[in-house]
Each structure stands twice: as C-alpha cells, then as structure tokens.
A and B are shown apart, each in its own frame.
Chain A
Amino acid sequence: MKAGTLRQVLLITDGCSNHGEEPAAMAALAREQGITINVIGVMENDVIDEKGLKEIEKIAGSGGGVSQIVYAQQLSQTVQMVTQKAMTQTIQGVINRELQQILGDSRTMEDLPPDKRGEVMEVVDELGETSKLEVLILVDTSASMKHKLPTVKESLLDLSLSMNARMGDSRFSVFVFPGKRNDVEKLLDWTPNLEALTATFPKLSTGGLTPTGPAIREALSYFNKKRSLRGLLSHDDEQYFEESM
C-alpha cells in the first residue's frame, strides 16, 4: 500500500463557541472532505464547564478525530498523543475498509485472531511512519486563553519535533481565532518547521467572541485552496486518505 497524505485540523480551545455556525456541523463537513478534526481542551486553574466539555467531544466525534481535556502543563504530551492517535485511527479506518473488501461481511481488525491482527498493525504502524502529514493548527485566542498561549506555543514546537522525526514529510500551518478583522487569522503558512513560530501570538481581541464554527469552515477552505492550486500546477495523483470510522 502506498502512503498518502493525512490531513488533520488540531483545535486548541478552552471553552464554548458563541458565534456563527455550529462547530460540530463544520467538523462533519470536514470529515466529508477527508479531513480529521481533533480537539484539545486546555484547563489551567479554571475548569471547563459541562457545556464546553460536550461541545469539545461533539466536534471531535463528528470530525472523526480525537478529543482530550488536559491541564496546560500536560499539553505537549497530549498534542503529540492526540495527533498520533488520530493518524492511527484514520489509517486503521482505511485498512478496515480494505479488509472488509477482502474478507466480506462487516469484519474489521478486531475480528481477526491476535496474530493476524499483529501483522495488520505492522502495516498500520508502517503507514503512520511514512505517510505525509498536514496539520492545520487552530488556536483559540479569546481572552481566557491569554496566559496559556506560551504553553501552547511550546507544545506546538514539541509537536513538530515529534512529527519531523518520522520518515514521511510533515507540514504545519497555524491559525488563530478570532482574528483582527475576520473570524480567522493566518499566523504561519504551510511549513515543515514550527520554529518559525517564534513571533508571539498577535494582540488578542477582547470582544468576547469565540467563532469556533466559522473558524473550522475557513480552515477547510485553506486546505482546499492549496489542493486545487496544486492540482493546477502539477497533475500529481497524490492519494488522500479518506476518513471512515
């Protein structure tokens, strides 16, 4: 099997959206386009309320990704773990579909005897190591996130360190929301190295808006733009993993 490109959005937030489209719906839209949405809820001294927790789970659920609530101190570990886990999940989804084609009925990896499962897992690991990866990082910079941002930056640097150790190429881009003029503002264009993120996060808007839904929607268009542009330049038949969990 040839390694394709895994595309993910990593949403880092600390609470509920209060503006624009429903985030879970936008996440479902992303999934339809083969993009996985992962969500990390960051707490510090505050606790995320029930409503926020539910929303975080719902976004990742309909986005086919992984969600996790953590204290800021554990962010580095979690960012890496969530990204890794979502990659494995996506690849497994693809493998499961292939298996169903071969084995018939609705059999998945779990129905195989452990030894065979081990062999399949080796393929999954191999693909996770060699696939190309594109992660669009979407950071909530609403007022309550302010003092968590240095930790967020550190954990993103750590993520690029982990992902760049893989054999496949990794590329990242960073967006913050709400932006100065729009719902989303680009901080860093697609790059393999997040070291470029040394510039601090821009001045935070204090309008109190958290447009998570619109932010996800715009992020998607950014994936698409890039893709179509590439399609025009070169007819590379790059294969994209499609989400199917």
Chain B
Amino acid sequence: MMMNNTLRNQCKLLPGSLITGKWNKNRYKIIKELGCGANGIVYLVESENRHYALKLSDNGTSIISEMNILKSFSKVQGSTLGPSFLEADDFMETGKQLPFYVMEYIHGHDFLRFIEKKGSSWIGVLMLQLLTSLSALHTNGWVFGDLKPENLIVTSPAYKVRCVDVGGTTLIGRSVKEFTEFFDRGYWGLGSRKADPQYDLFAVAMIIINSAYPARFHKKGEGYRQLIDLIKQKKELHPYRKMLDKALLGKYDSALQMREDLVTMLSNQNHLKKKPSSQAATRQATTRQARRSQSHSKKMRGGFFETFLLVAIISILYVLYIYEQLL
C-alpha cells in the first residue's frame, strides 16, 4: 500500500544509527529491524548495554493510542501478557517529527514456528497460559482484540507466551478497531466487533484451528458450518472439538471457564495415552499431597510445599552431618 511505502522511506534507519529523544534526550542505537506494522517500524535497539524494542512511526495518532494502551497494561497487576512500557519521545529527522516509544524487548519464537519445532503437544499448554493471562486482562476491563499467532511470542528458556503487539487492545464495551479477519468473529458472521471477553476467546479458538491449518482459509458461505466441517477434517483438532465449538459460539462466560474445559480435556488426553501404571502413580502422588497439605488445596501450591519440605529436610540432615563432623 502506498502509505507504507512513504513510511518506510521516512522511518527506514540503518543499523548503527542513533535515535535521540527530543524531550528526554535518551539515546538508542539501532541494532536491527524487528518488524514492520501498519503504523510503524519496530527496531531492536540498545541503550546503556540493555536491549529494548523501539517503535517509530510517522503517524502520531495511532502510535499514541498504542502508547496509552501499553501504559494501562503496566497498571494491570500481574499481567505479563504485553511488553512493559519504558518511555515515549520524539525523533527529529530532517525537519520532521517522528514519534516513538520504547518498550521491553521480548525475545523468542513466534507461536506457529515454535509449535512447528517443538510439536503440537505444546498447543494445549501454551493456550492454558494464554487463557490465564487473558483472564487477568478481562478482569481489569480490557479485551486484547488483535489476538493472532504472529502477535504471540514464546520466550525461551521459560517457555512463556507473551504478546508483542497491543495495538488492538480495547476497553470492554467499546469497538475493536484493529483486528485480523481470520481471527475476527465479525468476519465469520459469529458476532459483533464490540469488545467483550468472548471476542478474545473466539480468537483463541481460531489460533488452535490455525495451528492445524497453517495456510489459513477464506470464508465461503456460512461461517460456522465451514469452521465446524474443517475442524472435523483434522484429526489433531478432535480432542478440542467441544471446546472450540463453545468458544466459536461465544458460550463461555470467562477465560477461566474455557481454561477449565481445556485442563479437563488435556488431562483426559493424558489418561488415554499414558500407561495405566504411571497413571496410578500420578493419582497416588496427588492424593498424597492432598493428605499431607490439606490447607493447600491447589495442586501447584501442593507441589511447591512438597519441594520446600524436601529441601528443608535435606538441609537439616546436612546441618546435622556438618555438626557431627565438627565434633
């Protein structure tokens, strides 16, 4: 498109160039271009030996809206979904003022490439993480909007799903303005573009479908029928079928509800795959935890408690051993 060309010409900066802010006077050295979006170019930059991502644009308005969103993201407690915001400033280049903002650099593979490399067994786990993050976001009154694999980065070595482009994030009740047709329920004729939690959950379902159809597809005729038929045709999507159906129709009240279904589905799948002996062992392990730490009903906490206990016992034994040696 024409606009992008002019933008590219104006904002195109070579590695090694320096960007100095007009207001805060911070200097950033460009290392390389990370990507080019509809309203700006994102660079990997370095400042005081630390890496950041810097988005430069010739369109002041959209980049400022994005900056506002990133700021509100930082206020959402415990949300690790988007990059954290550092500062905003202007870059004066040949008499033109180009606004930019600086954020945390999230390093990793994009979602689809990660799945391609590590195998489809990761889809479920990563979607669980995503749903947890979305739940926090929704509780704070926001909807992510432009949820798609390209915007999802799986960091390593922690294997955590993060989102890099928050431009579509919208207050609940307002209209979603940035979206990608394939992941947009409006395109498929399955709902409005008014931001509600179900809008994101629809996109989560489409991400799972996308992982089985990497080339994606266009709408032909009735959207819902088409999607259901395509889900049927892929064996790897069968376990998700019920959950996908509910998410596509907007039947989940919250991200947590969808997450619960996914957890159940994933544990049933393990149940089928694993040998009975190991399954029995798992069950034994959980019951044992439950007995030992009754107050900690959650599995994760139980696990933590167990590790702690083990470490404590070993340290006590070690201390006793040292003590004995000294004597």
The interface of chain A, by Cβ under 8 A from chain B, is 68-70, 74, 76-77, 84, 88, 92, 109-110, 113-115, 117-118, 121-122, 124-125, 129, 158, 161-167
Assembly CA distance A199 to B71 (angstroms): 46
- Residues 174-217 of B at the A interface (beta carbon under 8 Å): 174-177, 181, 186-187, 192-195
Among A77, A115, A121, A161, contact of B65 (Cβ-Cβ < 8 Å): A121
Contacting pair A115 B88 (CB below 8 A): yes
Assembly CA distance A42 to B186 (angstroms): 23
Assembly CA distance A109 to B65 (angstroms): 13
Contacting pair B186 A162 (CB below 8 A): yes
Contacting pair A76 B181 (CB below 8 A): yes
Assembly CA distance A166 to B194 (angstroms): 7
Assembly CA distance A166 to B195 (angstroms): 9
Shortest Cβ distance from residue B100 to the other chain A in the assembled complex, whole angstroms: 9
Contacting pair A118 B68 (CB below 8 A): yes
Interface size on B, residues (CB 8 A): 29
Among A70, A76, A121, A163, contact of B1 (Cβ-Cβ < 8 Å): A70
Contacting pair B176 A121 (CB below 8 A): no
The interface of chain B, by Cβ under 8 A from chain A, is 1-3, 23, 60-61, 64-65, 67-68, 71, 88-90, 97, 99, 101, 173-177, 181, 186-187, 192-195
Contacting pair A121 B68 (CB below 8 A): yes
25 contacting pairs across A/B (C-beta < 8 A): A69-B1, A70-B1, A84-B177, A88-B61, A92-B61, A110-B97, A115-B88, A117-B60, A117-B64, A117-B99, A118-B64, A118-B67, A118-B68, A118-B88, A121-B68, A125-B65, A162-B175, A162-B177, A163-B175, A165-B174, A165-B176, A165-B192, A165-B195, A167-B174, A167-B175
Contacting pair B23 A166 (CB below 8 A): no
Chain B residues with Cβ below 8 Å from A69 are 1-2
Contacting pair B60 A109 (CB below 8 A): yes
Among B3, B99, B193, contact of A165 (Cβ-Cβ < 8 Å): B193
Chain A residues with Cβ below 8 Å from B64 are 114, 117-118, 121
Chain B residues with Cβ below 8 Å from A118 are 64, 67-68, 71, 88
